[in-house]
């Protein structure tokens, strides 16, 4: 069993990554790079007292400055602790306090953070945006990435330098100085929030925002650089936990009976249904231009349900919602890890930790959705 960091401030040692990313520091080596831009801290609203700062940097896109309105875009908010590896800095904060932490960050602001577990996912989002801009130059229906961090604004310089170092197109920031970011997520019309803080993920879910906790495992599988691949569990992720409650309370036979009796009754929506809808909306833009077969977005349903006895209700629900899943895998209780290893998704969402661990063992970046009855049964390893 691969060890996983269930403490969101820790990351596995001995990471073996086949991902092609820019060389950078992970907190152990201290190599600097030449700054690409000069930044004035006053322009970032820096003060000695922590305060929430939101900002955007202008960048030219095909001759003009391009900022999609949040209500038109598919907004993905990503914590700095899952986009980048910051475990060394976190130790400074925990062991020496906030003032020494801020001093450390400023002293090392010319040293980039290494990629974290959300990095390949974000790069894939940007690859999709490139294709969308080619087909729809004036459209604001794009992925819009917001970097969310509890950090004081002083740390913003290092984050911006890191983003430029890795050539990421992230123009929107939310640095809350220790305050909860949830209110800002709602203002950004966030479609998905990824964080290392399980408490904040639960808080976001309670506010109706699709959210998941990300972890780093010691093995990462190489993923596509040209096609975004997103895999979902069914119950308590895309769907409600209604059926899972029957299974937990009464066992498998009663679950099968319940699903047969309710085959034509739609399942209620789960916390990530809206994100699948957003992906489907962008997929249709490619289909309209004749790119169904080479669409740069591909979605997967990977569920422990069996096809004949309980899968039909899931498929009928998706069809009634008007949602397409490119591939559906009904595993009838078989381990998900080997299937996910073949799919090679940029991210896989599941509500049960043992499935997250199973996926990580095979090198898949998995995210935990702490929703539903299964949270009473999850055992952290």
Number of structural domains, the chain? 2
> What does the alpha-carbon distance between residue 284 and residue 277 come to, in Å, rounded to a whole number?
11
Say if residue 174 is in the same domain as residue 106.
yes
> Domain boundary residue among 214, 247, 280?
214
Say if residue 244 is in the same domain as residue 199.
no
**296 falls within a domain:** yes
Contact 298, 273 (CB under 8 A): no
> What does the alpha-carbon distance between residue 344 and residue 17 come to, in Å, rounded to a whole number?
13
**31 falls within a domain:** no
**348 falls within a domain:** yes
Say if residue 81 is in the same domain as residue 141.
yes
DSSP assignment of 50-67: ---EEEE---EETTEE--
Say if residue 358 is in the same domain as residue 255.
yes
Say if residue 182 is in the same domain as residue 321.
no
Instruction: Supply 223's token pair.
Output: 């993923």
> Domain boundary residue among 188, 214, 240?
214
pLDDT at 289: 96
Catalytic site residues? Answer: 233
Residue from 17, 216, 57, 59 nearest 146 by CA: 57
How many CB atoms neighbour CB 50 within 10 A?
18
pLDDT at 11: 36
Say if residue 195 is in the same domain as residue 271.
no
Instruction: Supply 281's token pair.
Output: 């909306």
- C-alpha distance from residue 337 to each of 103, 218, 241, 303 (Å): 42, 15, 22, 12
Say if residue 359 is in the same domain as residue 267.
yes
Say if residue 286 is in the same domain as residue 318.
yes
> What does the alpha-carbon distance between residue 105 and residue 98 come to, in Å, rounded to a whole number?
10
Say if residue 163 is in the same domain as residue 133.
yes
Instruction: Supply 136's token pair.
Output: 């729809």
pLDDT at 378: 56
Residue 260's H or E segment, with its range, is: helix 252-261
pLDDT at 117: 94
Of the chain, the end-to-end C-alpha distance in Å amounts to 10
**108 falls within a domain:** yes
pLDDT tens, N- to C-terminus, the chain (381 residues): 444 544 433 333 333 333 344 344 443 333 333 333 333 333 333 333 334 444 433 344 444 446 788 888 999 999 999 999 988 988 998 899 889 989 999 999 999 999 999 999 999 999 999 999 999 999 999 999 999 988 888 888 999 999 999 999 998 988 888 888 888 999 999 999 999 999 999 999 999 999 999 987 777 789 999 999 999 999 999 999 887 777 777 777 777 787 788 888 899 999 999 999 999 999 999 999 999 999 999 999 999 888 877 888 999 999 999 999 999 999 988 999 999 999 999 999 999 998 998 888 888 999 999 998 778 765 444
Residue from 134, 139, 127 nearest 167 by CA: 127
pTM for the full model? Answer: 0.81
**56 falls within a domain:** no
Say if residue 290 is in the same domain as residue 345.
yes
Residue ranges making up the domain that contains 371: 228-377
Contact 333, 352 (CB under 8 A): no
**78 falls within a domain:** yes
Residue from 205, 340, 349, 201 nearest 279 by CA: 349
Contact 126, 133 (CB under 8 A): no
How many CB atoms neighbour CB 219 within 10 A?
16
Q: What CATH number has the domain bearing residue 371?
A: 3.40.50.1000
**357 falls within a domain:** yes
Say if residue 209 is in the same domain as residue 274.
no
Q: What CATH number has the domain bearing residue 131?
A: 3.40.50
Buried b (16+ CB within 10 A) or exposed e, 298-334: bbbbbbbbbeebbbbbbeebbeebeeebeebbbeeee
DSSP assignment of 304-321: SS-IIIIIHHHHHHHHHH
Residue 233's H or E segment, with its range, is: none
**87 falls within a domain:** yes
Residue 229's H or E segment, with its range, is: strand 228-232
Say if residue 258 is in the same domain as residue 328.
yes
**What 8-state DSSP symbol labels residue 111?**
S
Contact 302, 347 (CB under 8 A): no
- Strand ranges for 42-189 from DSSP E: 53-56, 60-61, 64-65, 74-79, 84-85, 114-115, 143-149, 172-175
How many CB atoms neighbour CB 2 within 10 A?
16
Residues 6+ apart with CB under 8 A from 223: 19, 120, 124, 229, 344, 345, 346
> Domain boundary residue among 148, 180, 214?
214
Contact 231, 237 (CB under 8 A): no
């Amino acid at each position: 069993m691969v060890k996983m960091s269930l403490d969101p401030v820790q990351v596995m040692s001995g990471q073996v990554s086949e991902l092609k990313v820019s060389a950078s520091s992970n907190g152990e080596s201290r190599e600097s790079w030449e700054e690409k831009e000069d930044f004035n801290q006053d322009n970032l609203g820096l003060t000695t007292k922590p305060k929430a700062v939101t900002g955007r940097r202008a960048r030219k896109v095909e001759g003009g400055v391009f900022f999609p309105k949040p209500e038109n875009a598919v907004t993905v908010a990503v914590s700095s602790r899952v986009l980048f590896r910051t475990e060394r800095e976190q130790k400074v904060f925990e062991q020496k306090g906030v003032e020494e932490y801020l001093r450390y960050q400023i002293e090392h602001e010319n040293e980039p953070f290494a990629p974290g577990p959300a990095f390949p996912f974000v790069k894939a989002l940007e690859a999709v945006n490139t294709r969308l801009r080619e087909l729809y130059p004036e459209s604001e229906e794009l992925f819009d990435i917001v970097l969310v961090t509890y950090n004081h604004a002083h740390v913003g310089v290092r984050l911006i330098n890191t983003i430029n170092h890795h050539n990421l197109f992230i123009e929107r920031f939310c640095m809350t100085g220790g305050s909860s970011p949830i209110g800002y997520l709602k203002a950004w019309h966030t479609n998905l929030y990824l964080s290392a803080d399980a408490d904040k993920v639960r808080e976001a879910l309670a506010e109706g925002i699709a959210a998941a906790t990300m972890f780093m495992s010691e093995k990462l599988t190489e993923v596509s650089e040209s096609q975004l691949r997103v895999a979902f569990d069914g119950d308590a992720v895309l769907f409600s936990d209604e059926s899972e409650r029957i299974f937990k309370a009464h066992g498998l036979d009663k679950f099968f009976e319940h699903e047969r009796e309710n085959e034509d009754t739609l399942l209620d929506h789960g916390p990530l249904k809206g994100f699948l809808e957003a992906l489907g909306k962008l997929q249709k833009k490619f289909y309209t231009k004749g790119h169904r077969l080479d669409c740069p977005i591909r979605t997967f349903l990977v569920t422990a349900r069996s096809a004949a006895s309980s899968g039909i209700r899931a498929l009928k629900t998706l069809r009634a919602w008007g949602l397409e899943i490119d591939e559906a895998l009904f595993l009838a209780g078989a381990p998900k890890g080997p299937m996910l290893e073949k799919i090679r998704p940029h991210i896989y969402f599941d509500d049960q930790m043992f499935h997250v661990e199973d996926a990580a063992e095979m090198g898949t970046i998995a995210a935990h959705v702490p929703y539903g009855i299964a949270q009473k049964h999850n055992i952290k390893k």
